[in-house]
């Protein structure tokens, strides 16, 4: 099944690693060679990885919004930051 099935290591998983693993899981499930139990485990892992990726994207969006906020841009350009 998946290379990283240990949920304790998920905190250190980068966005790119999570996306790559998610892509791998999707491919495995699309192939149809997994047992029902393995399919359910892959689906569960996929849901967790999707949530992790969504969280990372939300965090990145918030950072971009903060950096592009008009007040922040003015403060940066005037050297007050």
Domain spans of the chain, in order of start: 14-78
Q: Which residues contact 26 (CB under 8 A, 6 or more apart)?
A: 46
Give the confidence band of 2 by pLDDT, cuts at 50, 70, 90.
very low
Of 26, 71, 60, nearest in space to 1 by CA = 26
Q: 14-78 is classed in which CATH architecture?
A: Orthogonal Bundle (1.10)
Q: Which residues contact 13 (CB under 8 A, 6 or more apart)?
A: 4, 21, 49, 52
Q: Exposure of 4 by Cβ count < 10 A (0-12 exposed, 13-18 middle, 19+ buried)?
A: middle
- Using a cut of 0.85, tell me whether the model's pTM lies above it: no
Rounded Cα–Cα distance for residues 33 and 26 (Å): 12
For 24-65, the pLDDT digits (tens) are: 999 999 999 999 999 999 999 999 999 999 999 999 999 988
Asked whether residue 1 carries a pLDDT value surpassing 50, the answer given is: no
| 11 compared with 21, residue with greater pLDDT | 21
């Amino acid at each position: 099944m998946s290379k990283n099935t240990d949920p304790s290591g998920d905190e250190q998983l980068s966005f790119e690693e999570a996306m790559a693993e998610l892509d791998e899981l999707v491919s495995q499930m699309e192939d149809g060679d997994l047992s029902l139990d393995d399919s359910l485990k892959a689906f569960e892992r996929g849901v967790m990885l999707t949530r992790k990726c969504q969280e990372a994207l939300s965090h990145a969006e918030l950072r971009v919004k903060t950096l592009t906020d008009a007040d922040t841009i003015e403060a940066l350009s005037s050297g007050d930051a």
